[in-house]
Structure 1
Amino acid sequence: MSLETLVEKWLDIDKNERTRAEIELLRREGKTDELLARLGSRILFGTAGLRARMEAGFSRMNDVTVIQASQGLAEYMLEESLSTGSPKVVIGHDHRHNSARFAKLTASIFLLKGFQVIFLGDGVVPTPFVPFAIDRCGAVGGVMVTASHNPAADNGYKVYWGNGCQITSPRDSQIQEQILKNLEPMEAVWDYDRVLETYADSVIYSREEIAKAYHKSLCKHLIKSKITSQFRAVYTPMHGVGLEQVLVAAGNLGCELEIVTQQAQPDPDFSTVKFPNPEEKNALDLAMETANLKGIDLVLANDPDADRFSAAVKVAGKWRQLTGNEIGFLFADYLASELSPEQLSRSYFLNSTVSSQMIKAVAAKNGCNYEDTLTGFKWIGNKAIDLEKSGYEVPFGFEEAIGFMFPPIHDKDGISALTVFLRMYDGWLQKGTNAIEVLQSGFEKYGFFKECNGYYVVPRLDSTEKIFNSTIRSSQKNGSYEFPHTIANYRVVAWRDLTLGFDSTTPDNVPVLPVDSSSQMITVVLEPTFGSGSIRFTARGSGTEPKLKVYIEATANSEAAASALAKDVWSVLRDSWFKPLEYNLKEVV
Structure 2
Amino acid sequence: MVGQKLFNQWQEVALPGYLAEELESIVGDTVAIEDRFYKYVSFGTGGMRGVLGAGINRMNIFTIRRVAQGLAQYITSNGEVAMNRGVVVAYDTRQFSYEFAIETARVLGANGIKAYIYKEARPTPQLSFTVRELNAYAGVVITASHNPKQYNGFKLYGEDGAQLTPLYANEIIQHMETVEDIFLIEAAEQLMLEQQGLLQWILEEMDERFLEKLLTLKEKNQNDMSMKLVYTPLHGAGLRPVCEGLKAFGFEHVYIVEEQAVQDGAFPTVPYPNPEEVAAFEYAMKLGKEVGAELLLATDPDADRLGVAVRNNGEYELLTGNQLGALLLDYILKTKQQNGTLPTNGAMIKTIVTSELGTQIASHYSVETMNTLTGFKYIAEKIAEFEESGSHTYVFGYEESYGYLIETFARDKDAVQVALKVAEMATYYATLGKTLLDALNGLYEQFGYYKEALVSKTFEGKQGQEQMKVILNNFRQQPPVEIAGFGVARLEDYLVGEVTHADGYKTMITLPKENVLKFMLEDGSWIAIRPSGTEPKCKFYFGVKGDSAQQAIDKIEQLKVSIL
What's the counterpart of residue 150 of structure 1?
147
- Determine if contact 1:189/1:195 at 8 Å carries over to the other structure: no
- Determine if contact 1:16/1:63 at 8 Å carries over to the other structure: no
The whole-number CA distance in structure 1 between the counterparts of 2:388 and 2:2 is: 53
Q: Does 1:489 align with 2:485?
A: yes
What's the counterpart of residue 418 of structure 2?
417
Q: Does 1:393 align with 2:384?
A: no
The whole-number CA distance in structure 2 between the counterparts of 1:177 and 1:12 is: 27
Residues 191-233 of structure 1 show CA distances to partners (whole Å, capped at 9, x for unaligned) of 643343443x222212211111111011124465764241110
What's the counterpart of residue 468 of structure 1?
472
Deviation of 1:79 (Å): 1.6
Identity of aligned residues (%): 29
Q: How do 1:429-508 and structure 2 match up within 5 A?
A: 429-459=430-460, 460-470=464-474, 472-475=475-478, 483-504=479-500
The whole-number CA distance in structure 2 between the counterparts of 1:221 and 1:118 is: 27
Deviation of 1:345 (Å): 2.1
* C-alpha spacing 1:158/1:3, structure 2 compared with 1 (3 Å): closer
Q: Does 1:48 align with 2:49?
A: no
Q: Does 1:173 align with 2:134?
A: no
Residues 236-286 of structure 1 show CA distances to partners (whole Å, capped at 9, x for unaligned) of 001111111111101111112101111111111111112111111322111
What's the counterpart of residue 242 of structure 1?
238
Q: Is 73-82 or 394-403 further displaced after alignment?
A: 73-82
Q: Secondary structure at the match of 2:369?
A: strand
- Determine if contact 1:309/1:418 at 8 Å carries over to the other structure: yes
What's the counterpart of residue 88 of structure 1?
86
* C-alpha spacing 1:84/1:191, structure 2 compared with 1 (3 Å): closer
The whole-number CA distance in structure 2 between the counterparts of 1:107 and 1:362 is: 45
- Determine if contact 2:294/2:310 at 8 Å carries over to the other structure: yes
What's the counterpart of residue 544 of structure 1?
534
2:393 aligned partner, one-letter code: E
* C-alpha spacing 1:186/1:545, structure 2 compared with 1 (3 Å): closer
- Determine if contact 2:88/2:130 at 8 Å carries over to the other structure: yes
Q: How do 1:281-296 and structure 2 match up within 5 A?
A: 281-296=278-293
- Determine if contact 2:86/2:113 at 8 Å carries over to the other structure: yes
Q: Which of 309, 314, 317 is the aligned partner of 1:317?
A: 314
Q: Secondary structure at the match of 1:272?
A: coil
Q: Does 1:7 align with 2:7?
A: yes
- Determine if contact 1:349/1:370 at 8 Å carries over to the other structure: yes
* C-alpha spacing 1:3/1:395, structure 2 compared with 1 (3 Å): closer
2:510 aligned partner, one-letter code: V
What's the counterpart of residue 428 of structure 1?
429
The whole-number CA distance in structure 2 between the counterparts of 1:336 and 1:7 is: 57
The whole-number CA distance in structure 2 between the counterparts of 1:85 and 1:569 is: 52
- Determine if contact 2:51/2:152 at 8 Å carries over to the other structure: yes
Q: Tell me, which stretches of 5 or more residues in structure 1 are unaligned? A: 476-482, 528-532, 575-589
Deviation of 1:103 (Å): 0.5
1:264 aligned partner, one-letter code: A
Deviation of 1:389 (Å): 2.1
Q: Secondary structure at the match of 2:148?
A: coil
Q: Does 1:211 align with 2:207?
A: yes
- Determine if contact 2:500/2:507 at 8 Å carries over to the other structure: yes
Q: How do 1:297-312 and structure 2 match up within 5 A?
A: 297-312=294-309
The whole-number CA distance in structure 1 between the counterparts of 2:217 and 2:315 is: 34
What's the counterpart of residue 202 of structure 1?
198
2:46 aligned partner, one-letter code: A
Q: Is 207-216 or 12-21 further displaced after alignment?
A: 12-21
The whole-number CA distance in structure 1 between the counterparts of 2:346 and 2:387 is: 9
1:402 aligned partner, one-letter code: Y
- Determine if contact 1:3/1:40 at 8 Å carries over to the other structure: yes
What's the counterpart of residue 510 of structure 2?
512
Deviation of 1:144 (Å): 0.3
Q: Tell me, which stretches of 5 or more residues in structure 2 are unaligned? A: none
RMSD: 2.2
Q: Secondary structure at the match of 1:131?
A: helix
The whole-number CA distance in structure 1 between the counterparts of 2:14 and 2:56 is: 10
What's the counterpart of residue 584 of structure 1?
none
Q: Does 1:524 align with 2:519?
A: yes
* C-alpha spacing 1:16/1:370, structure 2 compared with 1 (3 Å): same
Deviation of 1:190 (Å): 5.4
- Determine if contact 2:138/2:158 at 8 Å carries over to the other structure: yes
The whole-number CA distance in structure 2 between the counterparts of 1:127 and 1:437 is: 32
2:470 aligned partner, one-letter code: K
Q: Does 1:273 align with 2:263?
A: no
Q: Which of 50, 73, 95 is the aligned partner of 2:71?
A: 73
2:498 aligned partner, one-letter code: F
Q: How do 1:186-201 and structure 2 match up within 5 A?
A: 189=186, 192-199=189-196, 201=197
What's the counterpart of residue 586 of structure 1?
none
- Determine if contact 1:188/1:195 at 8 Å carries over to the other structure: no
Deviation of 1:294 (Å): 1.2
